[in-house]
Structure 1
Amino acid sequence: MATTDTLDGKNVLRSELALWVGIITTIVFWTVGAVWLKDMEGALMAGGLFIWLFSVMLWLSFGVVRHAECLAIKLGEPYGTLILTLSVISIEVVMISAVMLTGGENPTIARDTMFSVLMIVLNGMLGVTLLLGGLKHHTQAYNLEGARSYLAVLVALAFLCLILPRFTLSAEGGAPSHLMANFLIFASIILYGVFLFLQSTRHSKFFKAPDVGSEAEDSHEGHEGLVVRSVGFHAVFLILTILPIVLLSKKVALVIDYGIAQAQAPHALAGFVVAILVLSPEALAAVKAALDNQLQRTVNIALGSALATIGLTVPAVLIISEVTGKFIELGLFYTDMVLLIATFFCASIVFGGQRTNTLAGAVHLVLFFAYIVLIFD
């Protein structure tokens, strides 16, 4: 059972230990640690720095999940999950925007990041959660109307933003023309805004577990050991705990780049590993929910993250492109298109009924491993 607790300084210091360690680590690596990352010598030093950064980021991820679960208890679903999703994806959008504004010319950074997140979330995260949930509970129920709502908006935005620009002739490569860019900005904001409005108001029941009464919704089942405080407390500390993960992800990327260069591995592997680290809070929350037989929360996290990635990233990068004149490519290459279409096709079949099983997780995991193979091939 989750318990409530009054705000006490000693309790906060103890319960938020991961945050304090994360802040200290962030300060170290953004000051004196910058020299270590610049002058790495040998695999031993790089390996030690990677273990340090990865361990702290993983510890922080558990803290993010804990605060999100407390918010889910206080606010009910889908609001707790929605806050977690928007927090992680919004900071991810800020990272991409910062790279576009301060970095060199890299017209594919936004497209490649969105595609990586989609593959990790829709195939990796969803595959693992459905597999583990199926192994433990055999079959699991979810709200069909909610899953279909996610997929309808997600497929429309993904095809418009990541596939259509490759076939239009008004701009070179996979870049959208000015007219198409303005349309995509408008369409993404409006469609995602309408979805959020319906999800949080009149159709919020679509995103709650089926056949759950009001008493069950207020239950703390599956949240054993949690200390629940005020909504404001958990909302603030959720954001504070996410920030070191994002700031440290830039530093761990340097270590990963060094390791990739030494091992002569594909450069795309760096973005893949960093994306996994950034998405780790949502992945941990999704796995825990599936093991607790709360599949609806898993669906809300996975499909909600994928939708937020496109709904928030596309308008941000296109506005930056239009204002600064930076060239940007959105259209995927044909191999990636095939994998994306296969992912949506399988997801539509998996969420075509009202229960999932182990096979559904295995199917998405195979597609995820196919994505990893394509990184190397």
Structure 2
Amino acid sequence: MPHLGKSLVREWPIALIWVSFALLTLWGSALKPELVGNAGSFLVLAVIFVVMLAAVFTVVHHAECLAEIFGEPFGTLILTLSVIGIEVALITAVMLTGPNAPTLARDTMFSVLMIVLNGLVGLSLLLGGLRHGLQVFNLSGANAYLVVLLPVAVTSLILPTFTTSAPGGGLSGLQTVFQIAMSIVLYAIFLLFQTVQNPKVFQQPADGTEADLFDDGGPGEHGHTPGNAIFHIFALLLTLLPLVLMSKKLAIYVDHGITQVGAPVAMGGFIVAIMILTPEGLAALSAARHNQLQRAVNICLGSALATIGLTVPAVLAAAWFVDRPIELGLSPPGVVILSLSLGISIATFVGSRTNSLQGVVHLAVFLAYIILIFDGDF
């Protein structure tokens, strides 16, 4: 019983986000941006962001406990699907209930790809390279991610920019059906390859530094002492639900803040992506720092692939359901940055060893992306 009591005390973020959602539901009309002013709106935004971020960390904690129970590659897959599930829920909830924002899904997915492929990969390779020199990973596993990511990313975010069957970077009815089907089928086949046919290619190679592979500062590979699987699954779902319900509240204050400070519209997607990816990003950086580069690769490339493979069909289906326009095609600068990011990723993972120089290159592209956001080019 004492152990159960301590476990429940550690779940305070679940109670916090449910209480916050209840308060916003009861008093939300009195906290509207036009009533509380700019200072009040930014304060409410900060509170909502912190509460939701604490809940996201809780989701990741329970996902990683399940990862300890089920092992790799299932562990990283559970973590990735949990985090991307939050992204899909946030975007679709805002699309279904919020004002018409045809580029919201595109901006968020593009931000996730840039943060993952350049920011997280760059920091992971830089930190890992500075500490361990050359780091090893399983080439076949990285290639499996990239070979599926390339066609789905290009056909969903780049191709609509150049097609003429639908206006403004949108998709025609036939293209929408094809994109949904292709994304789901390719991702399903990838999951079959990852979990059934060849799970070993997503595990750390045997020639890694064995002394560091599981030195994560905790009892297990991910630094957690897992409990009962049913408990972690229940807590995971209990945290995901209010995150979805809070998404509309967050969107209201994000949109108001962007308008008031005159920030680019794409900043909204970037803020949502940062909140979603912060815990997962910390897990990837920790893995690289402890010479578990394969786990960092699984997290980063897995997030990028799941973002496209799951979010694209979800938002296309949601837009069709509510009969709202959606734009997936990137602007010309976005096409260049995404193409450059995919090309550098292929060059980085063409061999089985990485170094800090490659990390610096990825970070340079990420900084270029940030500059273009504030320059209003997206």
| TM-score exceeds 0.5 | yes
Runs of 5+ consecutive residues of structure 1 not aligned to the other structure: 1-5
Q: CA RMSD in A?
A: 2.7
Superposed, which structure 2 residues align to 1:172-251 within 5 Å? 172-211=167-206, 221-224=216-219, 226-251=224-249
> Does the Cα contact within 8 Å between 1:88 and 1:242 map onto a contact in 2?
no
One of 273, 276, 299 as aligned partner of 1:301: 299
AA of the residue aligned to 2:268:
A
Task: Give 3-state SS (helix, strand or coil) of 2:101's partner.
Answer: coil
TM-fit CA distance, 1:56? 3.1
Partner of 2:16: 21
**In structure 1, distance between residues paired with 2:98 and 2:45:** 24
TM-fit CA distance, 1:256? 3.7
One of 27, 37, 41 as aligned partner of 2:37: 41
Partner of 1:351: 349
Partner of 1:3: none
CA pair 32-372 structure 1, distance change in 2 beyond 3 A: same
TM-fit CA distance, 1:249? 4.8
One of 101, 105, 125 as aligned partner of 2:100: 105
**In structure 2, distance between residues paired with 1:35 and 1:116:** 32
TM-fit CA distance, 1:117? 1.4
1:213-247 CA distance string (max 9 Å, x none): 9x99x968543463321222222223333444454
**In structure 1, distance between residues paired with 2:148 and 2:31:** 45
Partner of 1:260: 258
TM, length-normalised to structure 2: 0.88
CA pair 60-335 structure 1, distance change in 2 beyond 3 A: same
TM-fit CA distance, 1:79? 0.7
**In structure 1, distance between residues paired with 2:143 and 2:173:** 32
TM, length-normalised to structure 1: 0.88
> Does the Cα contact within 8 Å between 1:222 and 1:292 map onto a contact in 2?
no
Runs of 5+ consecutive residues of structure 2 not aligned to the other structure: none
AA of the residue aligned to 2:37:
E
TM-fit CA distance, 1:8? 4.1
1:116 counterpart = 2:97:
no
TM-fit CA distance, 1:148? 0.5
Partner of 1:330: 328
1:15-63 CA distance string (max 9 Å, x none): 22232223323322333255234322343x4454344334333433433
Partner of 1:274: 272
Task: Give 3-state SS (helix, strand or coil) of 2:36's partner.
Answer: coil
The alignment-based identity, stated in percent, is 50
AA of the residue aligned to 1:232:
I
**In structure 2, distance between residues paired with 1:178 and 1:161:** 14
**In structure 1, distance between residues paired with 2:239 and 2:121:** 24
Partner of 1:71: 66
> Does the Cα contact within 8 Å between 2:134 and 2:355 map onto a contact in 1?
yes
AA of the residue aligned to 1:361:
G
**In structure 2, distance between residues paired with 1:323 and 1:245:** 22
CA pair 235-269 structure 1, distance change in 2 beyond 3 A: same
CA pair 347-247 structure 1, distance change in 2 beyond 3 A: same
AA of the residue aligned to 1:151:
L
Partner of 2:284: 286
CA pair 295-241 structure 1, distance change in 2 beyond 3 A: farther
